[in-house]
Amino acid sequence: MSNQELANFLFPNISDFSDYEKQYPERELEEGAMVTRFAPSPTGFVHMGSLYAAFISSQFAKQSHGVFYLRIEDTDQKRMVENGIEGILHDLALYDFKTDEDPIKGGKYAPYIQSKRKEIYQSFAKRLVGEGLAYPCFCTEEELEAIRKKQEEAKERIGYYGKWARCRHISNEETYERIKNGESYVIRFASRGSFERKTKFKDAIKGTIEFPENDMDIVILKSDGLPTYHFAHVIDDHLMHTTHVIRGDEWLSSVPVHIELFEALHFTLPTYAHLAPLTKKESETKIRKLSKRYDPESSITYYDEAGIPTPAVKLYLATIMNSNFEEWYQKNPNADIDDFNFSFDKMAVGGSLFDLQKLESISKIYFSTITAETLYEQTLHYMEIYHPSFAELLRKYPDYSVQVFDIERNTPRPRRDIASYPDVIRYHGYMYDEIFFQGNPYQNLDPKKEYDQSILTRYLDVYSVRDNEEEWMSHLKAFATKLGYAADMKSYKQHPEMYKGNMRDICEVIRVAITGCTQTPNLYYLLKLLGPDRIQKRFQLFISNQNKR
Which residues are CB-contacts of 359 (< 8 A; sequence separation ≥ 6)? Answer: 308, 312, 313, 316
| DSSP secondary structure letters along 413-445 | S------SHHHHHHHHGGGSHHHHTTS-TTTTS
- Asked if 103 touches ligand GLU (CB under 6 A), the answer is no
Closest distance between ligand GLU and the C-beta of residue 247, in Å? 3
Per CB under 6 A, contacts with ligand GLU among 187-246 are: 233
Give the pairing of strands 134-137 and 186-189. antiparallel
Task: Please select the residue that binds ligand GLU; options are 40, 84, 136, 159, rule is CB under 6 A.
Answer: 40
Closest distance between ligand GLU and the C-beta of residue 250, in Å? 7
CB nearer to ligand GLU: give 123 or 242.
242
3-state secondary structure 122-174: HHHHHHHHHCCCEEEECCCHHHHHHHHHHHHHCCCCCCCEHHHCHHHHCCHHH
Measured distance CA(357)–CA(178) in Å, rounded: 62
Per CB under 6 A, contacts with ligand GLU among 41-60 are: 41
CB nearer to ligand GLU: give 233 or 238.
233
Q: Residue 281 to residues 15, 53, 100, 291, 294: CA-CA distances in angstroms? A: 53, 20, 36, 12, 13
CB nearer to ligand GLU: give 233 or 511.
233
CB nearer to ligand GLU: give 76 or 131.
76
Phi and psi, residue 285, nearest 5°: -110, -10
Measured distance CA(294)–CA(299) in Å, rounded: 10
Closest distance between ligand GLU and the C-beta of residue 39, in Å? 4
- Asked if 258 touches ligand GLU (CB under 6 A), the answer is no
Region binding ligand GLU by CB under 6 A among candidate stretches 33-41, 123-131, 448-456, 463-471: 33-41
CB nearer to ligand GLU: give 252 or 529.
252
Region binding ligand GLU by CB under 6 A among candidate stretches 35-43, 154-162, 398-406, 418-426: 35-43
Closest distance between ligand GLU and the C-beta of residue 215, in Å? 22
Measured distance CA(478)–CA(461) in Å, rounded: 12
Give the pairing of strands 271-275 and 219-221. unpaired
CB nearer to ligand GLU: give 168 or 292.
292
CB nearer to ligand GLU: give 74 or 326.
74
Region binding ligand GLU by CB under 6 A among candidate stretches 36-44, 337-345, 393-401, 527-535: 36-44
Neighbouring CB atoms inside 10 A of 496's CB total: 11
- Asked if 39 touches ligand GLU (CB under 6 A), the answer is yes
Closest distance between ligand GLU and the C-beta of residue 38, in Å? 7
- Asked if 275 touches ligand GLU (CB under 6 A), the answer is no
Q: Which of 435, 361, 442 is nearest to 401 (CA)?
A: 435
Closest distance between ligand GLU and the C-beta of residue 209, in Å? 17
Find the angle CA(395)-CA(398)-CA(404) to the nearest 5 degrees: 125
Q: At residue 285, what is the residue type?
A: T
- Asked if 73 touches ligand GLU (CB under 6 A), the answer is yes
- Asked if 247 touches ligand GLU (CB under 6 A), the answer is yes
DSSP code for 451:
-
Which secondary-structure segment (H or E) carries 209? strand 207-212
CB nearer to ligand GLU: give 117 or 233.
233
CB nearer to ligand GLU: give 262 or 492.
262
Which residues are CB-contacts of 472 (< 8 A; sequence separation ≥ 6)? Answer: 464, 524, 527
Region binding ligand GLU by CB under 6 A among candidate stretches 34-42, 395-403, 410-418, 427-435: 34-42
Contact positions vs ligand GLU (CB under 6 A): 39-41, 73, 233, 247
